[in-house]
Structure 1
Amino acid sequence: MKHSHHHHENDSSKNLKVAFFLNFSFTIIELIGGIYTNSVAIIADSLHDLGDTLSLGLSWFLEKYSSKDRSKKFSYGYKRFSLLSALINSAILIIGSIVILYKTIPRLLNPETSNYVGMLLLAVLGMIVNGVAVFKLKKGSSLNEKVVAWHLLEDLLGWIAIFIISIINQFIEIPILDPILAVIFAIVIFYNAIKNLKPIVAIFLQSTPLDVDVNELETKIKNIKTINSIHDMHLWTMDSENHILTIHVVLKGKITPTKVKSVKKQIRKVVYSMKIKHVTIEVEEKNEICEYNDC
């Protein structure tokens, strides 16, 4: 099981590495091509891709860092370093989309002619590069990989749109299509960045995991025969995959070592079946007086 877990982490890091080098190389080509073709959509997209490249580099570094074993300083491990990267990536997308809107809106009022043959060639190359990167990251399961995959999927869709308008302009020259496309890119990017940011913020605020039914979990634990009641149950997640539970259980009758061992085993069976990997159980007798609050 441990081997499988590390294999997943290595795959995640490898996928991000491939996507980083693909994006880094293409961003340079794209920026030069955007200036050469006088396409504001391509220049705007190259700035967005530059943000993606920085995000991918950070994601790659933090994904590797997040696989480190836990220490005395970070007793839960480094899993949230990967999540921190996803948070930064989302912030870069939001800022980038605002910059694109600011730079592009004046071109709506004064559209300029672009080199549409050059745009077409760049669009074909862009679709290939981003398509390969999306394919690599879509297979990943970490939240970090999913956020980065969204970055690159948006880029892929953008290149498809650039491909279409460059073909249209080969026959009917409509220069305003270029800035209109850039504005659409920015709005879509902004919307998806906000949408992706919500679950990340929820995890940092220690919300309960989305893939665990808390009511079902409580019911299953309460149905264990030797349990009288439960209280102070806390459930949160480190990174959308590694969930943690702490719970106080009050037993029926007198507590014995055998009964405690049995109830813990049954609780762990329930918890593990619901994809919760770490659980701490406090066992109490009925009418036991707690000396502190929240215990």
Structure 2
Amino acid sequence: MHGHGHAHGPGGHAGHSHGVAADADRRWLGAALGLIAVFMAAEVTVGVVAGSLALISDAAHMLTDAASIVLALVAMRLAARPARGGFTYGLKRAEILSAQANGLTLLMLGAWLAYEAVRRLVDPPRVAGGPMLATALVGIVVNVTAAWCISKANRTSLNIEGAYQHVLNDLFAFVGTAAAALVVVLTGFDRADPIATLVVVALMAKAGYGLLRDSGRIFLEAAPTDVDPDLLGDRLVARPDVVEVHDLHVWQITSGQAALSAHVLVETGGDCHAVRRDLERLLRHDYGITHTTLQVDHVPEQVLQVTLPGDRTAADGPGHCEAPHGPVHREEPHHH
């Protein structure tokens, strides 16, 4: 294992640590998956026998946990493949697809369980509190262990974070179920079971919505949440020799991997290459954006003509972009 990184030449260190980390991630996720799968099967059985919807809802939630971990593992495999053929970014978005699938399953299961819980609130069946309590307590232990396993893996990936959120939500759900079981045992109040189920459903809805929102932003090519493209454009245009920045796009290839492209116009006497290096340094240092594509050109002569405000024809004459898309950031006149 240790010799493997040095084959990469100068960049070997990064490749080494990442390879080991990815293998470790897989092992930790695999351990969590095994735990969850075994427990889930037992839990469904007890839930059906004891007549507890809260246990069945926890098991359904654990099924999505297991699915989220399987998807995370598959997505890690796909995302690690090198870019080839038509997939010029590789399959990095497999992780985001997996996060989206997770979010959807959570919402759909939540809807079904909510319906069942309401039905049981109206007409509560008998619940065997003892087995329910025992199972819920074991569930708490299993989920603490699984959550610990996943927390050892790299949680910056949206897809592993998704799996982690699932398990964490499950932990809260089990605490609720254990409390409900205690109520059933002590008071015989059977409606505590569907009430606990509704708590689980609320947690599932929250987690599902969060995953759909975050993965949706990435699919719609939105800027990363911590980057404001307008402020970014203003900062770039304020650099020495830069006159205008347009067609500025910031998006995410996958979680934690942002890309940026822009068309930059430089003063007639300015050094295009120096400007590009300066902007790349700024983006890397202040925004952590290393994947940049900057087209840097000198200002076409006619832009320097005096133009009236609102008269765009002279500025956007020949030598400028055919159809600029996105806002145009111009240098403020007082910089001259």
Q: TM-score, normalised by structure 2?
A: 0.81
Separation in 2, partners of 1:275, 1:69 = 22
Separation in 2, partners of 1:9, 1:247 = 33
Moved more, 243-252 or 223-232: 223-232
Q: Which residue of 1 aligns with 2:165?
A: 150
Q: Which residue of 2 aligns with 1:184?
A: 199
Separation in 2, partners of 1:212, 1:11 = 31
Larger Rg: 2
CA drift at 1:249 = 0.9
User: Are 1:13 and 1:64, in contact at CA under 8 Å, matched by a contact in 2?
Assistant: no
CA drift at 1:128 = 1.0
CA drift at 1:294 = 3.0
Pick the aligned partner of 2:263 from 244, 248, 264: 248
Pair 1:7–1:271, CA change in 2 (3 A): farther
Q: Which residue of 2 aligns with 1:22?
A: 35
- Say whether 1:167 aligns with 2:167: no
CA drift at 1:216 = 4.0
Q: Which residue of 2 aligns with 1:294?
A: 324
Q: Which residue of 2 aligns with 1:260?
A: 272
- Say whether 1:55 aligns with 2:68: yes
Pick the aligned partner of 1:35 from 2, 23, 48: 48
Pair 1:248–1:291, CA change in 2 (3 A): closer
Moved more, 43-52 or 172-181: 43-52
Separation in 2, partners of 1:276, 1:109 = 55
Pick the aligned partner of 1:69 from 82, 103, 110: 82
Counterparts of residues 73-112 of structure 1 (less than 5 Å): 73-112=86-125
Q: Which residue of 2 aligns with 1:114?
A: 127
What CA deviation, in whole Å up to 9, does each residue of 1:52-77 have, x standing for no partner?
Answer: 32232122111221122211321112
For 1:267, the aligned partner's letter is: L
CA drift at 1:157 = 0.6
Moved more, 206-215 or 82-91: 206-215
Tell me the SS of whatever aligns to 2:244: strand
Q: Which residue of 1 aligns with 2:58?
A: 45
Pick the aligned partner of 1:234 from 249, 253, 256: 249
RMSD: 2.0
CA drift at 1:167 = 2.2
User: Are 1:12 and 1:142, in contact at CA under 8 Å, matched by a contact in 2?
Assistant: no
User: Are 2:125 and 2:190, in contact at CA under 8 Å, matched by a contact in 1?
Assistant: yes
CA drift at 1:244 = 0.4
Tell me the SS of whatever aligns to 1:276: coil
Separation in 1, partners of 2:73, 2:232 = 35
User: Are 2:64 and 2:166, in contact at CA under 8 Å, matched by a contact in 1?
Assistant: no
For 2:277, the aligned partner's letter is: K
Separation in 1, partners of 2:180, 2:265 = 67
What CA deviation, in whole Å up to 9, does each residue of 1:225-249 have, x standing for no partner?
Answer: 1222211111100122000000111
Tell me the SS of whatever aligns to 2:254: coil
Q: Which residue of 1 aligns with 2:147?
A: 134
For 1:177, the aligned partner's letter is: A
For 1:282, the aligned partner's letter is: Q
Pair 1:291–1:86, CA change in 2 (3 A): closer
- Paired positions, count: 292
Moved more, 113-122 or 13-22: 13-22
Separation in 1, partners of 2:238, 2:23 = 40
CA drift at 1:104 = 2.5
Q: Which residue of 2 aligns with 1:269?
A: 281
Tell me the SS of whatever aligns to 1:236: strand
User: Are 1:22 and 1:133, in contact at CA under 8 Å, matched by a contact in 2?
Assistant: yes
Moved more, 32-41 or 78-87: 32-41
Pair 1:228–1:290, CA change in 2 (3 A): closer
CA drift at 1:291 = 6.4
Tell me the SS of whatever aligns to 1:232: strand
